[in-house]
Chains A and B, each alone.
Chain A
Amino acid sequence: MRVPLSWLTEFTPVEEPPERLAHALSFLGLVVEGTEVVPAPFGGIVVARVLATRPHPGADRVQLVDVDAGEGESRQVVCGAFNMKAGDLVPLADVGTVMPNGMEIGRRKVRGEWSNGMLCSAPELGIGPEGGEPAILVLPPGSATPGQSAAEALGFGADIVFDLEISPNRGDCFSVMGVARDLAAGLGLSFSVPQPPHEVAEDLPAAAVAIDPAAEDRCPRFTGTVVENVKGALVSPLVRRRLVLAGMRPINAVVDASNYVMLELGQPNHPYDISRLGGGGLVVRPAQDGERLVTLDGTERQLGPDDIVISDAEGKAVGLAGIMGGADAEISPETTTVLLEVANFAPLTIAETGKRLGLLSEARTRFERGVDPELAPCAIDRFVDLLGSGVRRGATTDLHPGRAAPVEVPLRARRANLVLGTSLSTQDCVALLSRLGFEAGQRADDRWVFRVPSWRPDCSREVDLIEEVARIYGYDKVRRLLPAHPARPSRLAGWQLARRQVREVLAGTGASEAWSSTFLSSRELELAALSPSSAVVVENPLDSSQALLRTSLLPGLLRALRSNRERQAGALSLFELGNVFAVPGGPGGDLVGSGGPEATFPASLGSGDGHGAESRRSASLGGFLYRVVEGVVEWEQLGLVASGAGVDATYAARAWEVIAGALRVDDAGVVPVAADLGPGALIGLPALHAGRRAVLAVGGRPVGIVGELAPEVAARNGLAGRVAVLLVDLVLLLSATPKPLVAREVSRYPAVDLDLALSVADVVPAGEVAATVREAAGELAEEVVLFEVWRDKSLGEGRRSLNFRARLRASDRTLTEADVGEVRERVAAVTAERHGAELRGARPTS
């Protein structure tokens, strides 16, 4: 909302410099988004008196005008307008003046006659409606003297325009008056509303207006007033200038007056051409189902019983109540008599209709935030006043079915001090609130009852008054304290620490963290061999490339690889942690949901919502969680991709080992992909190379997948070389219990390292063999590592030698050869039995 300072001064005598005012407004919650300095207009334009008008000897369409511009001698001007007569005061642009449109006035000859300047019309001064007959602006008689600057004569000084952002709760501040009231209260200045005259022509009929009973609850007040003789009426140039400064275009006197009243008082209103109203009256009623109305913006609107319309007395809709008038009864230059509607509508009905039709208007903005129902009489008087003395008005028909008693709200100073941390007395509160028009009434016990002014429908509770007290008291005067509470230590939850650890160790491997958008297209999912049908659809996406929610981090990471490659980046290792979404049990059938982690969570954030809908089944454990909204499964994922020389699936497998080691998860493994593996972490498996992928397991339960992009998928993404991929369901990983920290005594006896070369078929996973070796080696095995994998024809087709080294040590003695022999035999026997392994050689190395 643009508010000229000169307009504010009609209500309150502000004298502070503009910066102070802007500061004061901001600290009242009226955010100043901009301050525009407007210089005094019309440099070089002065007031001149018309001495005589004469025909131009050589042209009919212009005349000669002799004027006195205060120079003591007559000056001849050629003029194309004929609306002035001797004695009129008119603006004269002197030779050399640059007009608002950029034109420079010169001394020139028009058909043989000299013109020493130019007489100006309102449009030429930038304050009048365009079009119509050319007409010189005639100032009221006696309002100026010849030679005086036109700006001064018109009351157009330099001005300051504040561009304010008004918060949605302050309907009253969508007006100059409302802003002035707050500003006066904030600065401790006086505030008053000028009272326009109220003269009713008794011979004019009262307006015929009615409220349909079916619309009464949505129209608490409706007034109609007949105003005649509006044809030819003029609003003062100052009114037009202020409209322009406030960002509106002057149209004609009636429309200008209507807009001015709305901007000044915040009361939307609508003048109808009474001759175009069937029956000459207005009715507020619900729209009929399917009723159509062409609004002023030229758009045909389809309405229903939830909307209310203004219709004429014959039932034809002529306006959309509280939002926009209809095109049919619009004011024209020919209009002589108007029926002025000044009404009040329930905010909710206006908001609903406006939103459904997508129709923004000044009236809607105000009504949906709440307009003072007591404003109407003042607004009517002001409207008539602005049109000048030539118009006449009839008695107002004022229907006020929804007249509410003034709202009374009790306030305890004690409570205000509790909420604000202040130490205000009751008298302080009374004084602060009275500046805003809140009247202190009865006192009961420790509370004062305040009568809320009718323009503040946003204040209905004690806390609303407390906010007003704080605003006028000054937020900057509120003390600063730290809560006494945190006597309780705090720390991140275990899973939050674990998540940070995942980031840290991955960064430790040289990987960098990416962040990609949650939105993607079905094409991007397909590029990563993911099924778009499993993805949750965004109903109102920004564009079609962002119409789905990611079901995996893989597409975003592949996008990052591609774009970096296009920019000539070399080897890359990127990881991301983020939430992914899917349709539960979608047609993909490969989604989380069945063995769902839902049940396994310590629900630190519960499922209750005080609202009772069973659809919100389970909520979060704080971070990663599950089904919250019917139709969406959400969980947190970890993704890693790497590509570059020497990178293949093994890179990702090793990264997993680093993560699992850092989190100390028990029984972390890399296991072959089995056909019957459950759902969950396996989204994304089709993207991976069939011979180079595996399932990541914790405690035997799959938590993710690891491998290498399938060659055809890599090719589709334009990625040359092998791309390592790791995808982990963080919900499952972070909720895994870490190994307990138990101190084991470190033995002081010497160790024997036993190398065990086991020939095993390729199809047997090394992980399984290693587990068996550890188990078979028993308590004596302090550590078992796979230190080498050896392949040779001599081992037979499809076999390799897994070379383990076991460090054997007893806690209570030095080992004997027999001890070592026993371990060797046991390993040989158990691995042969379980994995068909053949112990090729086993020797102590030390």
Chain B
Amino acid sequence: MNALSATVGRAKLLLEGAGSVLELRALEPEAFGKRSDLAKATGQLRDLSPEERRQLGRALQEARAELEALFGRRLAELERQEAKQRAESERLDLSEHALLARRGGGGLAEGLAQPTLRGYLHLVTQVREELEDIFVSMGFEVAEGPEAEDDWHNFQALNMPAHHPARGMFDTFYLGTGGEGSALLRTHTSPVQVRLMVSRHLPIYAVVPGRCYRRDTPDASHLPVFHQIEGLVVDEGISMAHLAGTLDAFVEAFFGAGRRARLRPSFFPFTEPSAEFDVTCWVCGGEGCRTCAGSGWVELGGCGMVDPAVFEAVGVDAERYTGFAWGFGIDRMAAARTGLADLRDLVDNDIRFLTQF
């Protein structure tokens, strides 16, 4: 027994003396592994009487457990130490480098860095900014809102009470928030309309770009995460003629002179009258081609006059004010612009794709 405790003592000393992870691992066989006195003692157990064997066996087991625990402790300790050492030895004072970057502001510069080629803004960003700029030039503000929404803003205030069949038009992702309210990812940018009308003084002339979500399986023309831009005008004396005129002006600014918008009746719960709007085919200019299936027109988005039920939900006097709204996908617009065949390329982030635009 004494011999055993001496063995354990020696082994402990060994392990505690290790100065690095490498060294510690190298000591393992000698301390309690194959080559250790412990292993030898275990090997000699069979020569003992059953009673002695039982006693010594248990002692050996305990000794081994003790050493293994020590080994684990030491390993963690040394690893921590080494990580710290590495952190310390590789330590950089980043404020130093930030300062060095400032070198050469107002006259103290000694040399200049070589010009570098600029990087690329994402295609979707470029199209979004262009759209924003066109509408800003027409007197619209750019409003934004949250992507995680509640049912009231995304559906109810937009004239879609629970179980409204039109909800089927929007396959919705719901969020498990543990709360009782139903949190969801907005299926369109329209909840921002609601936020605008609830909180703003009229009139409102705004466009709302942003990320939206629908539970569509991704394919060449659908992404479950996509970008939309919509417009909202609420003022006295606003008519569908203004909607048509505004879309025409926008289409001409974005697609070029001579391009037009046309409206076709449709249905959206939040607008009435509702319309789909088509634009002159950007490929053939209206002559008829494969892109427009020979019609000369390509469907771009939905629009309409704000439904009085929406005004009622947000507390706008529908007798005094009228308004219109429209919306379409930015990603599809980007694809149309560039002849992109598969929207999934937009989220792939391949540098060869990103640097094309």
A and B interact physically: yes
Q: Which residues of A contact B (CB under 8 A)?
A: 26-29, 31, 167-170, 347-348, 351-352, 355, 368-369, 417-422, 461, 463-464, 466-467, 470-471, 475-476, 478-493, 496, 500, 503-504, 506-519, 536-542, 546, 549, 559-560, 563-564, 567, 569, 572-574, 578-579, 581, 583, 603-611, 613, 615-616, 619-620, 622-625, 628-632, 634, 648-650, 653-654, 656-658, 661, 669-671, 689-694, 706-707, 711, 753, 762, 765-768, 770, 782-783, 785-787, 789, 802, 805, 807
Closest-by-CB residue of B relative to A577 is B125
Whether the Cβ atoms of B92 and A510 lie closer than 8 Å is: no
Whether the Cβ atoms of A634 and B225 lie closer than 8 Å is: no
Bitwise, B116-153 to A at CB < 8 A (1) or not (0) is 11111110110001001000101111111111111011
Residue in A369, A467, A470, A615 whose Cβ sees the most chain B Cβ within 10 Å: A467
Whether the Cβ atoms of B267 and A632 lie closer than 8 Å is: no
Residue in A355, A510, A611 whose Cβ sees the most chain B Cβ within 10 Å: A611
Chain A min CB distance to B80 (Å): 11
Q: Does B332 contact A (CB under 8 A)?
A: no
* Stretch of B15-23, B42-50, B66-74, B270-278 at the chain-chain interface: B270-278
Whether the Cβ atoms of A418 and B272 lie closer than 8 Å is: no
Q: Does B196 contact A (CB under 8 A)?
A: yes
Closest-by-CB residue of A relative to B103 is A785
Whether the Cβ atoms of A510 and B177 lie closer than 8 Å is: no
Residues of chain B within 8 A (CB-CB) of A461 are 308
Closest-by-CB residue of B relative to A669 is B95
Whether the Cβ atoms of B119 and A507 lie closer than 8 Å is: yes
Whether the Cβ atoms of A628 and B267 lie closer than 8 Å is: no
Partner among B104, B122, B264, B275 whose Cβ is within 8 Å of the Cβ of A513: B122
Complex A-B, nearest 10 residue pairs according to Cβ-Cβ distance, in ascending order: A486-B139, A421-B241, A631-B177, A767-B95, A29-B265, A606-B199, A167-B267, A421-B239, A691-B87, A623-B144
Residues of chain A within 8 A (CB-CB) of B213 are 518
- Per the bound structure, the CA–CA distance linking A420 and B142 in Å amounts to 26
Residues of chain A within 8 A (CB-CB) of B103 are 785-787
Residue in B84, B87, B97 whose Cβ sees the most chain A Cβ within 10 Å: B97
Whether the Cβ atoms of B195 and A620 lie closer than 8 Å is: yes
In the complex where A167-B267, A475-B264, A629-B148 touch, is A670 in contact with B121 (Cβ < 8 A)? Answer: no
In the complex where A419-B322, A463-B272, A628-B148 touch, is A470 in contact with B132 (Cβ < 8 A)? Answer: no
- Per the bound structure, the CA–CA distance linking A658 and B97 in Å amounts to 12
Residues of chain B within 8 A (CB-CB) of A611 are 152, 156-157
Question: In the complex, which residues 78-123 of chain B have their Cβ closer than 8 Å to any Cβ of chain A?
Answer: 83-84, 86-108, 110, 116-122
Whether the Cβ atoms of A610 and B150 lie closer than 8 Å is: no
- Per the bound structure, the CA–CA distance linking A517 and B344 in Å amounts to 11
- Per the bound structure, the CA–CA distance linking A518 and B224 in Å amounts to 10
Whether the Cβ atoms of A536 and B245 lie closer than 8 Å is: no
Partner among A489, A492, A579, A693 whose Cβ is within 8 Å of the Cβ of B94: A693
What is the predominant secondary structure among interface residues of chain A facing chain B?
mixed
Whether the Cβ atoms of A653 and B97 lie closer than 8 Å is: yes
Q: Does B262 contact A (CB under 8 A)?
A: yes
Whether the Cβ atoms of A476 and B233 lie closer than 8 Å is: no
Whether the Cβ atoms of A168 and B148 lie closer than 8 Å is: no
In the complex where A608-B199, A610-B157, A691-B86 touch, is A470 in contact with B265 (Cβ < 8 A)? Answer: yes
Whether the Cβ atoms of A542 and B217 lie closer than 8 Å is: yes
Partner among A510, A518, A536, A613 whose Cβ is within 8 Å of the Cβ of B119: A510
- Per the bound structure, the CA–CA distance linking A611 and B103 in Å amounts to 55
In the complex where A475-B265, A475-B275 touch, is A766 in contact with B95 (Cβ < 8 A)? Answer: yes
- Per the bound structure, the CA–CA distance linking A470 and B152 in Å amounts to 30
Whether the Cβ atoms of B108 and A783 lie closer than 8 Å is: yes
* Stretch of B1-9, B29-37, B168-176, B279-287 at the chain-chain interface: B168-176
Whether the Cβ atoms of B150 and A689 lie closer than 8 Å is: no
Q: Which residues of B contact A (CB under 8 A)?
A: 83-84, 86-108, 110, 116-122, 124-125, 129, 132, 136, 138-150, 152-153, 156-157, 163-166, 168-169, 173-179, 181, 183, 185, 192, 194-196, 198-200, 203, 205, 211, 213, 215, 217, 224-225, 233, 235, 237-242, 244-246, 248-249, 262-267, 272-276, 305, 307-308, 313-315, 322, 346-352, 354-355
In the complex where A563-B349, A620-B146, A648-B92 touch, is A503 in contact with B241 (Cβ < 8 A)? Answer: no
Closest-by-CB residue of A relative to B132 is A492
Chain B min CB distance to A845 (Å): 10
Chain B min CB distance to A412 (Å): 11
- Per the bound structure, the CA–CA distance linking A609 and B141 in Å amounts to 21
- Per the bound structure, the CA–CA distance linking A490 and B195 in Å amounts to 20
Residue in B94, B120, B272 whose Cβ sees the most chain A Cβ within 10 Å: B94
Whether the Cβ atoms of A478 and B263 lie closer than 8 Å is: yes
Whether the Cβ atoms of A787 and B110 lie closer than 8 Å is: yes
Residues of chain B within 8 A (CB-CB) of A767 are 95-96, 98-99
In the complex where A512-B351, A786-B96 touch, is A537 in contact with B176 (Cβ < 8 A)? Answer: yes
Whether the Cβ atoms of A579 and B211 lie closer than 8 Å is: yes
Residue in B102, B117, B215 whose Cβ sees the most chain A Cβ within 10 Å: B102
Partner among B94, B235, B349 whose Cβ is within 8 Å of the Cβ of A516: B349
Chain B min CB distance to A619 (Å): 6
- Per the bound structure, the CA–CA distance linking A775 and B99 in Å amounts to 16
- Per the bound structure, the CA–CA distance linking A538 and B185 in Å amounts to 9
- Per the bound structure, the CA–CA distance linking A591 and B196 in Å amounts to 29
Residues of chain B within 8 A (CB-CB) of A567 are 350, 352
Chain A min CB distance to B276 (Å): 8
Whether the Cβ atoms of B142 and A634 lie closer than 8 Å is: no
Residue in B96, B108, B179 whose Cβ sees the most chain A Cβ within 10 Å: B96
